[in-house]
Each structure stands twice: as structure tokens, then as C-alpha cells.
Structure 1
């Protein structure tokens, strides 16, 4: 598990080391997600009192909201080791069997993007989660034999950004399911404040608020922007305060509401080249030179959430606020939006 150091202690100056060091180590340190934290605390307390592993946990929600961090906290607060894997890495039932059979009693197994596991592995996981047992097939054809293998009791923490893709039998075997919501700016200010103290970055209140406002409701982005502000302060030591924060974020193409270069490229193509749409995702991806999956999973959710883009049966459309943000008259866009 990544080491979390005391506030103000210098940390290894590499992106991965910093990312790990900024993660909170306990639910008490975890900012935001108050309802989920309360539910998870009750789950862990009950398991500790009854001296058993906590029930399996499913965490869903957009990237960067703390699913991996919460899995680490579950392991830390139960005093158990944490084993980490991912759905794309488990493409055969044998991969999962090897992973499960090596777990120690009470160990926490974290599977990121659990919805991307192979179907054969999912079916094996059903039995493992419910009965702590898997069946190993030995041989082929008519002579094949199923050998049951007992597993040590464990807690599975699954994370997914697309919970709708999880099959119902798998979803039903999780004892606790939580959906993580985007953060409010006030919560992100607390995230930035804690990280700034750990990175020894001096920021005024309005500087923290500026970073929080441009972080798209996501702690991971807030921490990343803070590191870029820190770099700017290191290079331009004579520039301080909120003006330095704004200059740093403008240098990295993050505008006042958190849109980056790709966000604006998508909006600009939608508004200028396709007159507000509707336009298909594939056509839009070709227009901006980016993979359709990236636009759908990274760009589109935020643009839809802030009301700049709409999804219709005929394709994506730009809304009047998108026109206003780009400084373009939106009469045509408003008409198309209503008609769509």
C-alpha cells in the first residue's frame, strides 16, 4: 500500500510517488462522499466487532473520485493486505483461479474496471464470492473432471465506471454497493488545501478556490492542477497568489470552468463545423482527431453535466450555453436543440 506521510513532510518528487502520497489513509481523512463514508464505516465496524471479513464492496462512478483510494482504506482499516488487479488483466478463468487461490485469509482483493473481466472469469467469480470456492476443470471432453478448491475468506472490492455493464448475477453478490458523486467546489478546496500542505505549496484562499472551480468536480484533477501550479511557482518564484494560479492553468489550456484543449476542440467542431449538430460520435471523433471512446468516456460526461452538450437519438448536439461560452450567437443552436 502506498505510504501516506505527515502533512508538510517532503515527498519523492515523481508523479507516481506524489499521487500515492496524497491519498488519504483512513475514512476520517477522506474528503467528501459523506453518505458513502458513513455507510462504509458502519460496514467495517460491524465486521470488526463480529471478527469476520467485510462483505464484498462495489464502488461505481466516474474516474478520479476515489474508488482506488477507498479500496486501500478498506485494507488499512481492517489491517489486512491489499491485492490489486484489473478487469482487462483477467481474460481467462485460469488467471482468476491463480489470483484467488493465492489470497491469504481476510485479504482484500481490489479489481479495477471489474466490468471488463472475461465472461468465463465472471462465472468463476460468482461461486468464489458466495461460497469461497472455485471449481477447477481437469482434462478435456468426456473425461473432464471438476475439482473443488476451497479459498481463504476474502473481501472483494470491485470498481467500475460503467456499472450498467455488470451482469446482474455478479452485481447481486456484492453485499454493499456505492455510487460516488462528483465533488462540490467547497469539498475540492479541502482536497487542494490538504495536498498543498503536503507539497509545501503556498496558496491563498482564492487560489485554492480557483483550482477547485476548474477541477471538474474531480479530486484527481484538482491534485494534478495543483502540481502544475507548484511547478509554475518553482519556475516563476516572483509570481504568487491567485494571478499565478490563473497564469499556470491558462498555460496548460484549462479555462475558467475546467474545459481543456480537447473539450474545446469537441465543442468548436460541434458548433462551427456541424452547426450545433446533431452529429454522430464517430464523425465527431474524426473531426477532432481523437478516439471515439475517449470522447465518450472523458469529454462527453462533463460537457453533458454542465449543460454544454446534449445526447439525442440522432446524435450529439450543442446547447445554447455552449454557444455562449464560445462567444458565438446561438439562435440556430437553440432552435436545433429544441427540435432535437
Structure 2
């Protein structure tokens, strides 16, 4: 089984094309993340005044909040070309050297999932970011020779969903670090209004609110749900989208009023009905819902924990009181958490203790 594509972190090729068309082209059009926008605007304006390349920029936060869009905006605001690559694609120092040596002066290099670069490539990137040079090693052993290669000034924009995995020396070389937060419903409504205008859709305020409330605080998901509601309205010959129509469309796609999809509800239902609310180990829970452990941990669990529906404890996963209420189930009489089962979201622990 695979996760619901409506709330997954990845996109199909045609979805990515449409997402690109909906991306804002400048900071003025970018909705939400006000503090990051203001800080980044200041950094870019100062670079333009000094007629220099901007400081390197690190953007962190969950998927779908606009890190790639902001990287594109940095290039557009600096009137510079943009080169896009990713950490997993750079597994050798030679891969990075090839990219860096082909950069033009002032070019913006965007590295997505930068925390997944190989260690040799990271070490080469240190010198490139700080001194705009790299040493190319020719030969092996005692006969190896390092040939210095000067690089034109460039701006690196790194994006990561797991900033804690970045080594300190790399993180410290970024002149600006911005962390993107989940969006509020009102901010998502602004995102949806802009997208609906570009897609020439007629949606009333209640319709925007209905879609935004099911979007997990993520613009990428909000735009994806809007497109599915558009498809439903088109097939059913509805020109105007309201809350009722949006609700019916998203119910058909198994996205409920709180934003939970089939996988989320399956995890909660199994936890409550098969394991009495837990605690239960992650791998056991994944087997119960017929999914891979990684899928449950990376796709469903973060949202369920953030919503207060699932708790992580030293003994395993537990269903929180809201989970029982959301599923319409009666919680056990001893539902109050004891000292040994208090949720500790930030702790790491053995899955099957």
C-alpha cells in the first residue's frame, strides 16, 4: 500500500508542473512566513546596495512550506541564474566540484535536502562557501597533488527538513538561516485565493476555509486539495465552489475535516481497537495497518503527534484522548496517562521496549 498522494510529501510530474505555475515569483507575492520574508528581504536588499552576491542562505522546515519557492525568489530578486541540485545526487566530492566549477559569477546554487550530502562533498563545500575555491586532488597516495581551483562568487541556498543532521561547520557558514513554520488557516486561505485566481476558479470564503482547514498547515497540500476540488466540481458541472461542495469532494478523497487521510485514520483505529490505545511498538503498529515502518513514521506520525492525537513514549506509541473522540470511540476508563507513559515527543527511544 502507498500513502494518499493528496497529503504525501512528493508530487507526480504533472502535479509538479502545475505547482511551479502557482509558485510566487517574488517576496511580495509570497504568503506567510512574515518574519523569514522580512529578514530575507533585508539580506537581499543589502546585497543589491553593495553590488555583491548575497550571503549563503539556509532554509529549514517540514516539506511543502516553500523552501524551493524561496530559493527561486532569491535568484529572481538578485536577477541571477539558478542552478538546482540535491544532496542525494552529490555522493562524491567530484560531483560537487563539477557543479561548482561550472557556476557563473553571481549564480544561485540551490541544494535541496542538503543534509543528505556525502561527507567528502560537505568538506569540499566548506572551502567553496568561505573562500570561493576548491582543491582538486589528482592521483592517489604519496603522489597525490592538490590543484587549487578558484570559483566565481556565488550564493548557496540550502534546504533541509532535518536541520539537526547538518554538521556544525557547514551550518555556521550560512550567513542567513530561516526556519519555516506551519501555516495558519487564515494564511492558507490567502494562498488558496491566489491559486484560485490563477486557475480562474470561483470559490467563496466558506469554500476556502473548508479546504484550508484540511490542509495540514501546508501550502503544497492546500493547492493539491484545491485542484482535486476543482476536478470534482468540473465533473459534477458545478461552477461555484462552496463549503458543502468542497467537503463532499474531499470526503470522496478520504481527507476528513481535520486533515487526516486513510493512513492516518488506519493508524489511529488500529492503535485504539487492536491495542487498546497502546503503548505499542512502531513496527508492530505498521504491520497492523499493512504499511512499511518508515511510511508510518515519516508520513503519518508527525502530523498525528502535532495534532495531539498520538503520543510517543519510552514504551511505544499511545492514542491520546482526542484520537478516541475523533474516531467516535469510547476511551477506556483508565485513559489518564500514568507516570510511565507521559508523551515525550522530543526524546529518542527503543521502538519495541
Cα displacement (A) at 1:338? 5.7
Matched, 1:103 2:125: no
The aligned residue for residue 118 of structure 1 is 118
- Partners of 1:291 and 1:42 lie apart in 2 by 44
Gaps of 5+ in 1: 1-12
The aligned residue for residue 325 of structure 2 is 324
- Partners of 2:14 and 2:88 lie apart in 1 by 26
Cα displacement (A) at 1:307? 0.5
- Partners of 1:291 and 1:152 lie apart in 2 by 45
Cα displacement (A) at 1:339? 4.1
Q: Is the 8 A contact 2:255 2:261 kept in 1?
A: yes
The aligned residue for residue 272 of structure 1 is 273
Alignment RMSD: 1.5
| Cα offsets for 1:151-170 (capped at 9, x unmatched) | 11111100000111111111
- Partners of 1:244 and 1:162 lie apart in 2 by 37
| Cα offsets for 1:16-40 (capped at 9, x unmatched) | 3211110000000000000000000
- Aligned runs of 1:1-340 on 2, under 5 Å? 14-238=14-238, 240=240, 241-332=242-333, 334-336=335-337, 339-340=340-341
- SS across alignment from 1:136: strand
Cα displacement (A) at 1:218? 0.3
| Cα offsets for 1:193-250 (capped at 9, x unmatched) | 1101111111111000000000000000000000001001110014742211111100
- Specify whether residues 46 and 337 from structure 1 end up closer, same or farther in structure 2 by C-alpha distance, changes over 3 A only: farther
- Partners of 1:53 and 1:107 lie apart in 2 by 8
Q: Is the 8 A contact 2:209 2:243 kept in 1?
A: no
- Partners of 1:139 and 1:312 lie apart in 2 by 52
Cα displacement (A) at 1:286? 2.0
Gaps of 5+ in 2: 1-12, 342-353
Q: Is the 8 A contact 2:279 2:316 kept in 1?
A: yes
Q: TM-score, normalised by structure 1?
A: 0.93
| Cα offsets for 1:113-142 (capped at 9, x unmatched) | 000011111111111111111111100111
- SS across alignment from 1:335: coil
Q: TM-score, normalised by structure 2?
A: 0.90
Q: Is the 8 A contact 1:58 1:177 kept in 2?
A: yes
Cα displacement (A) at 1:300? 1.3
Q: Is the 8 A contact 1:275 1:333 kept in 2?
A: no
- Partners of 2:53 and 2:334 lie apart in 1 by 55
- Partners of 2:321 and 2:339 lie apart in 1 by 10
